[in-house]
Amino acid sequence: MDLNCKKCTQKYHIPDDQISNRRIYFNCEKCGYKIIIDLRGESWLSYKGFDSKTFSSRDILEGIFFSFNLKNILITFFLLLTYSFFGIIFFLLFTKNSDFFSSYPIASIMFILIISLIMIYIYDIHLYLLSRNTYNRIKLSRNIQFSTITHEIYDDIVPIFMISTGLIIIFVIFFSPVYLMKNNYAPVYEGIFHSFNLILVSIIIFIFFFKNILYSFIAFRNRNFHDTFSGIFRFLAIENINVPVFLFLICSITCCVFLFIHSIVILGLSFIIFLLAPAISGNIGFSATGISPSASAGKFGKLTEVLVKFAGPLNDGAPLIIFSTFLVFIFILSYIINLNQTLSSVAVMIMESNPGRSINKKVILFIIGIIFISFMSLVYFLSLF
């Protein structure tokens, strides 16, 4: 934060982390004037943004640069790998004990629900940590040591739990009696709580689409439980249309990068399969076109001869080839998830530096026009069928 003495205009610079949500004072070195800074709850209750470099909407592309963070990618990679491992275990568990789970359907559903909620919560905590590390990279140009901010993480665990799985648990508690009551009472019960359940489901759907930005907002600064939710409401009220517009930009950038990387990997995989196919099948070339070992010349002829020589080991190594390909796709997916969360973090910084004015109105109207035209085109093509 940069500020001037009100009496002699002497300039001072104070790090943001030393004054966030605090009240400090000091005497001017030049004139002795007492300078008081009181930011307790100011950035959340009055929402004045943060005193730092001013960002604009075009800076959203900076998120691509910050997404090349090996620490964030590896965090996501090992999380997805762990989820895949437990997914296989649970699949085998349900397969071998299908009779037991079919005999106790309610217990089975509750078991699946609890495991799913735990996995969702851990995944959302991981998104929050990605944003924390991204902000540290942007401000200090280095990765954060999570062990140094454990108390701040503990402060944010409860708000993340409420946003991530708390509302789902509340909905299950209020909606599950419909299936536990007798048929005569279930419709009456649902009629009483229908409005409440409808609002709850609408909030859950909203959070599902905007949770990346919400977790980035929570990670931006450390604060208490009350200020977190009051800040979220004020943030959404002031930014309003800017939030879905940024979400549209983030999804567009993420999809373009994903399609680009996916196309390159698929082409590379297809080329490798093309080279391995003759060796794995025990044939050289394509018999349909009359290509034979003698017709193969140069380096590719020698390559196919070598592949045929090791056809047996290649067939034995097929599971290893599949597993290594799986790891490559998991790594790519990890980068895409990190890219999406990094873009969301940069979007929050842009909106925080320009409250309510982060995107030009012409850009907003242009994007709304594109979405409207795309939607009407989709409706038209669906009507043809």
Q: Walk along the chain (385 residues) in steps of 10 and give the mean pLDDT of each run.
A: 77 72 72 70 41 55 86 94 91 83 82 91 93 87 82 86 90 80 71 83 90 90 77 85 86 90 86 69 44 45 54 61 87 94 90 75 71 77 74
Cα angle 84-87-88, degrees, rounded to a multiple of 5: 90
Query: Can you give the residue range of the structural domain that contains 15?
Result: 2-40
User: Cα separation of 383 and 385, whole Å?
Assistant: 5
Q: First and final CA of the chain: distance in angstroms?
A: 60
Strands annotated E in the chain: 2-4, 11-13, 23-27, 34-38
* Same-domain status, 204 and 286: no
Cβ–Cβ under 8 Å, residues 50 and 43: yes
Residues 87 and 224 in one domain: yes
Q: Is residue 111 part of a domain?
A: yes
Question: Which among 224, 248, 272 is the end of a domain?
Answer: 248
- Say yes or no: 259 and 338 in one domain: yes
Of 186, 219, 248, the position where a domain reaches its end is: 248
* pTM for the predicted model, two decimal places: 0.72
- In-domain check, residue 340: yes
- Please provide the DSSP assignment of 317-350 as one string: THHHHHHHHHHHHHHHHHHHHHHHHHHHHHHHHH
- The confidence score (pLDDT) of residue 338 equals 94
Same domain, 338 and 274: yes
Q: What is the 3-state secondary structure (H, E, C) of the chain?
A: CEEECCCCCCEEECCHHHCCCCEEEEECCCCCCEEEEECCCHHHHCCCCCCCCCCCHHHHHHHHHHCCCHHHHHHHHHHHHHHHHHHHHHHHHHHHCHHHHHHCHHHHHHHHHHHHHHHHHHHHHHHHHHHHHHHHHHHHCCCCCHHHHHHHHHHHHHHHHHHHHHHHHHHHHHHCHHHHCCCCCHHHHHHHHHHHHHHHHHHHHHHHHHHHHHHHHHHHCCCCHHHHHHHHHHHHHHHCCHHHHHHHHHHHHHHHHHHHHHHHHHHHHHHHHHHHHHHHHCCCCCHHHCCCCCCCCHHHHHHHHHHHHCHHHHHHCHHHHHHHHHHHHHHHHHHHHHHHHHHHHHHHHHHHHCCCCCCCHHHHHHHHHHHHHHHHHHHHHHHHC
Look at residue 265 and tell me if it is in a domain: yes
* 219 shares a domain with 183: yes
Residues 259, 237 share a domain = no
Tokens of 220: 């931006």
Q: Are residues 324 and 342 in the same domain?
A: yes
The answer to whether residue 48 is domain-embedded is no
**CA 63 to mean position of chain CA atoms:** 13
pLDDT of residue 29: 80
Q: Is 303 exposed, middle or buried (0-12, 13-18, 19+ CB in 10 A)?
A: middle
- Among 348, 367, 112, residue whose Cα is nearest residue 211: 348
- 261 and 180 housed in the same domain: no
pLDDT at 373 (0 to 100): 79
Domain count, the chain: 3
Contacts of 98 (CB under 8 A, 6+ apart): none
96 and 203 share a domain? yes
Q: In degrees to the nearest 10, what's the CA dihedral of 292, 293, 299, 303?
A: 110
Q: Quick check: is 202 in a domain? A: yes
Residues whose CB is less than 8 angstroms from the CB of residue 353 and which lie 6 or more positions away in sequence, other chains included: 49, 50, 52, 53, 54, 55
Q: How far is it, in rounded angstroms, from Cα 125 to Cα 8?
A: 47
Residues 233 and 288 in one domain: no
Shared-domain flag, residues 122 and 187? yes
Q: Which residues pair with 4 in a beta bridge?
A: 11
Listed residues 189, 214, 248: the one ending a domain: 248
Tell me if 235 is assigned to some domain: yes
Q: Are 338 and 250 in contact (CB under 8 A)?
A: no
Domain membership flag for residue 346: yes
Asked if 358 and 244 touch (Cβ cutoff 8 Å), the reply is no
Regarding whether 149 and 296 lie in a shared domain, the answer is no
Is residue 287 assigned to a domain? yes
Query: How many residues are listed for the chain in this entry?
Result: 385
Residue partners of 57: CB distance under 8 A and separation at least 6: 246, 249, 350, 358, 359, 360, 363
Max Cα-Cα span within the chain: 94
